[in-house]
Amino acid sequence: MWRRKVLTCALQNHPWRTIAIRRSSSVSSAIDSMILRSLKDHYLEISKMAPPPKVNPPTPFSVVKGALDNNGPVLRRSYGDEEIRISVMRLANILPDTAEADADADGDIDDINQLFLHVDVSKAGEKESLHFLCGLYPDALGIHSVSMRLKFETLDSNVVSPSYTGPVFE
Protein backbone atom coordinates (compact mmCIF):
# COMPACT_ATOMS: atom_id res chain seq x y z
CA MET A 1 0.00 0.00 0.00
CA TRP A 2 2.82 2.37 0.91
CA ARG A 3 4.52 1.49 -2.37
CA ARG A 4 1.39 2.22 -4.36
CA LYS A 5 1.00 5.71 -2.83
CA VAL A 6 4.64 6.61 -3.50
CA LEU A 7 4.36 5.38 -7.09
CA THR A 8 1.11 7.28 -7.66
CA CYS A 9 2.53 10.47 -6.15
CA ALA A 10 5.71 10.19 -8.22
CA LEU A 11 3.78 9.73 -11.46
CA GLN A 12 1.50 12.68 -10.73
CA ASN A 13 4.31 15.09 -9.87
CA HIS A 14 6.59 14.55 -12.87
CA PRO A 15 7.29 17.90 -14.54
CA TRP A 16 7.42 16.36 -18.03
CA ARG A 17 3.70 15.64 -17.84
CA THR A 18 2.84 19.29 -17.27
CA ILE A 19 5.27 20.42 -20.00
CA ALA A 20 3.58 18.13 -22.54
CA ILE A 21 0.15 19.45 -21.60
CA ARG A 22 1.30 23.08 -21.79
CA ARG A 23 2.99 22.48 -25.14
CA SER A 24 -0.10 20.91 -26.71
CA SER A 25 -2.31 23.74 -25.47
CA SER A 26 0.14 26.36 -26.75
CA VAL A 27 0.33 24.60 -30.14
CA SER A 28 -3.45 24.43 -30.42
CA SER A 29 -3.83 28.10 -29.46
CA ALA A 30 -1.18 29.03 -32.05
CA ILE A 31 -3.06 27.06 -34.70
CA ASP A 32 -6.34 28.65 -33.64
CA SER A 33 -4.85 32.14 -33.94
CA MET A 34 -3.42 31.32 -37.40
CA ILE A 35 -6.81 30.07 -38.58
CA LEU A 36 -8.61 33.11 -37.17
CA ARG A 37 -6.06 35.46 -38.78
CA SER A 38 -6.50 33.68 -42.12
CA LEU A 39 -10.30 33.93 -41.89
CA LYS A 40 -10.08 37.62 -40.99
CA ASP A 41 -7.82 38.30 -44.00
CA HIS A 42 -10.21 36.36 -46.26
CA TYR A 43 -13.25 38.32 -45.06
CA LEU A 44 -11.38 41.62 -45.51
CA GLU A 45 -10.50 40.65 -49.10
CA ILE A 46 -14.09 39.63 -49.84
CA SER A 47 -15.51 42.85 -48.38
CA LYS A 48 -13.30 44.94 -50.71
CA MET A 49 -14.61 43.16 -53.81
CA ALA A 50 -17.43 44.76 -55.75
CA PRO A 51 -20.43 42.53 -56.53
CA PRO A 52 -20.65 41.38 -60.14
CA PRO A 53 -22.86 43.48 -62.38
CA LYS A 54 -26.35 42.21 -63.08
CA VAL A 55 -26.49 41.04 -66.68
CA ASN A 56 -29.74 40.37 -68.47
CA PRO A 57 -30.01 37.47 -70.94
CA PRO A 58 -29.78 38.17 -74.68
CA THR A 59 -32.96 39.78 -76.03
CA PRO A 60 -34.63 36.71 -77.61
CA PHE A 61 -34.21 34.68 -74.38
CA SER A 62 -36.08 34.95 -71.09
CA VAL A 63 -35.18 33.55 -67.67
CA VAL A 64 -37.47 30.77 -66.41
CA LYS A 65 -39.05 31.87 -63.12
CA GLY A 66 -38.13 29.71 -60.11
CA ALA A 67 -35.30 27.94 -61.93
CA LEU A 68 -32.64 29.58 -59.75
CA ASP A 69 -34.21 28.00 -56.67
CA ASN A 70 -34.15 24.49 -58.13
CA ASN A 71 -31.34 23.57 -60.51
CA GLY A 72 -29.83 26.86 -61.62
CA PRO A 73 -30.53 29.42 -64.32
CA VAL A 74 -32.58 28.31 -67.31
CA LEU A 75 -33.05 30.43 -70.42
CA ARG A 76 -36.01 29.89 -72.77
CA ARG A 77 -36.66 31.08 -76.30
CA SER A 78 -39.27 30.35 -78.95
CA TYR A 79 -38.09 30.20 -82.54
CA GLY A 80 -40.86 29.45 -85.01
CA ASP A 81 -42.60 26.29 -83.73
CA GLU A 82 -39.55 25.25 -81.66
CA GLU A 83 -38.76 25.96 -78.03
CA ILE A 84 -35.11 26.21 -76.94
CA ARG A 85 -34.12 25.78 -73.29
CA ILE A 86 -30.54 26.36 -72.11
CA SER A 87 -29.29 25.47 -68.64
CA VAL A 88 -25.84 25.36 -67.04
CA MET A 89 -24.59 22.77 -64.56
CA ARG A 90 -21.38 23.31 -62.60
CA LEU A 91 -19.23 20.54 -61.14
CA ALA A 92 -16.93 22.20 -58.62
CA ASN A 93 -13.45 21.24 -57.46
CA ILE A 94 -12.69 18.42 -59.85
CA LEU A 95 -9.10 17.30 -59.35
CA PRO A 96 -7.31 15.06 -61.83
CA ASP A 97 -5.34 12.07 -60.51
CA THR A 98 -2.03 13.83 -61.09
CA ALA A 99 -3.08 17.09 -59.44
CA GLU A 100 -1.17 16.38 -56.27
CA ALA A 101 2.00 15.66 -58.23
CA ASP A 102 1.56 18.85 -60.26
CA ALA A 103 1.05 21.10 -57.23
CA ASP A 104 2.56 24.57 -57.20
CA ALA A 105 5.82 25.35 -55.43
CA ASP A 106 3.75 26.61 -52.50
CA GLY A 107 1.99 23.27 -52.30
CA ASP A 108 -1.32 24.79 -53.44
CA ILE A 109 -3.54 22.88 -55.82
CA ASP A 110 -5.75 25.06 -58.01
CA ASP A 111 -9.43 24.13 -57.98
CA ILE A 112 -10.79 22.99 -61.32
CA ASN A 113 -14.41 23.74 -62.13
CA GLN A 114 -16.21 22.07 -65.03
CA LEU A 115 -19.22 23.72 -66.64
CA PHE A 116 -21.75 21.77 -68.69
CA LEU A 117 -24.27 23.40 -70.98
CA HIS A 118 -27.58 21.58 -71.59
CA VAL A 119 -29.52 22.68 -74.67
CA ASP A 120 -32.99 21.22 -75.31
CA VAL A 121 -34.73 21.90 -78.61
CA SER A 122 -38.35 20.75 -78.82
CA LYS A 123 -41.31 21.24 -81.15
CA ALA A 124 -44.87 21.90 -80.06
CA GLY A 125 -46.92 18.71 -79.86
CA GLU A 126 -43.89 16.39 -79.72
CA LYS A 127 -43.15 14.20 -76.69
CA GLU A 128 -39.37 14.21 -77.10
CA SER A 129 -36.76 16.90 -77.48
CA LEU A 130 -33.29 17.02 -78.99
CA HIS A 131 -30.75 17.31 -76.16
CA PHE A 132 -27.19 18.64 -76.57
CA LEU A 133 -24.71 18.15 -73.72
CA CYS A 134 -21.79 20.54 -74.14
CA GLY A 135 -18.66 21.17 -72.10
CA LEU A 136 -17.57 24.77 -71.55
CA TYR A 137 -13.84 25.42 -71.42
CA PRO A 138 -11.87 28.68 -71.11
CA ASP A 139 -11.12 28.73 -74.82
CA ALA A 140 -13.61 26.33 -76.42
CA LEU A 141 -17.05 24.73 -76.40
CA GLY A 142 -17.23 20.97 -76.94
CA ILE A 143 -20.32 18.89 -77.76
CA HIS A 144 -20.15 15.72 -75.66
CA SER A 145 -23.40 14.08 -76.73
CA VAL A 146 -26.58 14.56 -78.74
CA SER A 147 -29.66 12.52 -77.80
CA MET A 148 -33.45 12.40 -77.91
CA ARG A 149 -35.07 12.77 -74.48
CA LEU A 150 -38.50 13.35 -73.03
CA LYS A 151 -39.49 16.99 -72.66
CA PHE A 152 -39.18 18.66 -69.27
CA GLU A 153 -42.97 18.85 -68.87
CA THR A 154 -43.47 15.11 -69.44
CA LEU A 155 -40.59 14.28 -67.10
CA ASP A 156 -42.32 16.18 -64.31
CA SER A 157 -45.63 14.33 -64.77
CA ASN A 158 -43.97 10.87 -64.46
CA VAL A 159 -45.20 9.60 -67.83
CA VAL A 160 -43.66 6.26 -68.79
CA SER A 161 -41.52 6.45 -71.91
CA PRO A 162 -42.96 4.55 -74.93
CA SER A 163 -39.45 3.51 -76.02
CA TYR A 164 -38.00 0.05 -75.44
CA THR A 165 -36.72 -0.37 -71.87
CA GLY A 166 -35.43 -3.94 -72.01
CA PRO A 167 -36.78 -7.42 -71.29
CA VAL A 168 -39.33 -8.11 -68.57
CA PHE A 169 -38.17 -10.62 -65.96
CA GLU A 170 -40.64 -12.51 -63.80
Residue 98, amino acid:
T
Domain ranges of the chain: 2-48, 62-156
Whole-number pLDDT of residue 52? 74
Residue 139 has pLDDT above 90, yes or no: no
What CA–CA distances, in Å, run from 102 to 92, 98, 109?
Answer: 19, 6, 8
Question: In this predicted model, what pLDDT tens digit does every residue of 33-83 receive, in sequence order?
Answer: 899 999 999 888 888 888 778 888 888 888 887 766 666 778 999 988 999
CA distance 57 to 74: 10
CA 100, CA 108: separation in Å to the nearest integer? Answer: 9
The reported pTM is 0.49
Quick check: 130 and 152 in contact, CB under 8 A? no
* 8 Å CB contact between 110 and 102: no
Q: How many angstroms separate the CA atoms of 44 and 39, rounded?
A: 9
Whether the predicted pLDDT of 143 surpasses 80: yes
88 pLDDT band, cuts 50/70/90, is: confident
Tell me the residue ranges of DSSP E strands in 30-155: 62-63, 74-79, 82-91, 114-123, 128-136, 141-150
